[in-house]
Amino acid sequence: MSIMGPPSASGRFGEYGGRFVPESLIPACFELEAVFNEAWGDPEFVGEYRRILTEYGGRPTPVTELRRFSQKLGIRVFLKREDLAHTGSHKINNVIGQALLTRRMGKTRLIAETGAGQHGVATATAAALLGLECVVYMGEVDVARQALNVFRMKLLGASVISVVSGSRTLKDAINEAMREWVASVDSTHYCIGSVMGPHPYPYMVREFQRIVGDEALVQSKEILGGKVPDYVVACVGGGSNAAGTFAGFVDTTAKLVGVEPEGGAAINRGIPGVVHGMRSNLLQDDVGQVLEAHSISAGLDYPGVGPEHSYLASIGRATYVTANDDEVLNALQVLSKLEGIIPALEPAHAIAYVIREAGKEIPLGSTALVTMSGRGDKDAESVAQLLGDDV
Ligand SMILES: *Cc1c(COP(=O)(O)O)cnc(C)c1O
């Protein structure tokens, strides 16, 4: 039995997870769970999911050895190249799976919420491919900040709804998408972008992302003469690229390390609570008010984390560490200059950890596989602003 097997019948990973939603959404969660379980055991469904990710998504993505970077650090570092997947990140693996499920449920419409816009663009992409209607909820503040992604979603045929309630950011967009899901659940699937939300989402999204870890296990064994890497490292926002990566290695000897942003370290500094349909670690104050996360990478700017990560931390199977903004900006430049790969700010957190700990926590001569969850083009403008002339 794998340490990352299915959760309990009520969607628990240990004491985390569950299904904390209004009565009106319970049937939709049950329907989704039943349809997912059936589809995931159906070779025809799995075959189509894999075919699309191959022919359209560009899978399998390669594993690249970083020769100059490794020489500098004294450890052998490999990247799992999700930056080379269609749309430039691992998000495509999840949205293709959920779009196929939408069709299987006989639904015609996808809704999603997005902060920085990356999950909105990915959902709009999958909807276009499968001919589904797509509506993306986005806080008014984010709509203004992320004009280019708003335009991309529109080009892909999606409608973008600007949410003007509350702080007009991601958490308000989530509330609005939930409300809309209640009202239109017969025709509409709510496409959640990470290993979060009520059961079955954390489990289902991890299963759609495990293709990253399953491929990387085979690829790294091939490179290492049958051995697995000593360390397997991934950044953690909601935690989907890390969960997908860890799923491939959890039953091996590899040490699993998740890297959180210092200002959004839900596992390192949060305490268990219930938010957005799940029980997990959460940044909150003394009276249980959810605190805002702060990170230079919009994709990690979330006060919570997927429940399975809280579980893996609680049993000690995975370790969670943090990287700060300066370390991340440095890592982004080092990788760019030594290897010709510009990482997104999110995976630059994982790179930053490896740079900081090479020869310390990570002994010299070790091997480490890092998931490069996405490419850095989307962040070029904000990195330019942060670095100014210092490059
Ligand atoms: C969205 C995003 C993340 C954060 O999401 P996880 O669910 O934690 O994987 C990380 N990296 C990139 C490139 C992203 O686009």
Task: Determine the pLDDT at residue 359.
Answer: 98
pLDDT digits (tens, 9 = 90+) for 4-59: 999 999 999 999 999 999 999 999 999 999 999 999 999 999 999 999 999 999 99
pLDDT digits (tens, 9 = 90+) for 196-217: 999 999 999 999 999 999 999 9
**Which residues are 64's β-sheet partners?**
79
Q: Is the CB of 373 under 6 A from ligand 1?
A: yes
**Residues noted as catalytic:** 91, 113, 373
pLDDT digits (tens, 9 = 90+) for 321-359: 999 999 999 999 999 999 999 999 999 999 999 999 999
Fold matches, 13-52+91-201 and 58-89+209-390: yes
d(C-alpha 374, C-alpha 300), whole Å = 13
Q: Does domain 13-52+91-201 have CATH number 3.90.1150.10?
A: no
**Contact (Cβ atoms closer than 8 angstroms) between residue 202 and residue 45:** no
Q: Report how far ligand 1's centroid is from the alpha carbon of 242 (Å).
A: 9
pLDDT over threshold 90, residue 175 = no
Q: CATH number of the domain at 58-89+209-390, out of 3.50.30.10, 3.30.1330.30, 3.30.505.50, 3.40.50.1100?
A: 3.40.50.1100
Q: Report how far ligand 1's centroid is from the alpha carbon of 252 (Å).
A: 24
Q: For the chain, report the end-to-end CA distance as a whole number of angstroms.
A: 49
Q: Is the CB of 349 under 6 A from ligand 1?
A: no
**Contact (Cβ atoms closer than 8 angstroms) between residue 391 and residue 333:** yes
d(C-alpha 69, C-alpha 272), whole Å = 38
Q: Is the CB of 118 under 6 A from ligand 1?
A: yes
In which order are the strands placed within the sheet that holds 159-163?
Answer: 159-163, 133-139, 109-113, 188-190
**Length of the chain, in residues:** 391
**Contact (Cβ atoms closer than 8 angstroms) between residue 213 and residue 220:** no
For the chain, what are the domain ranges? 13-52+91-201, 58-89+209-390
What's the whole-model pTM score? 0.97
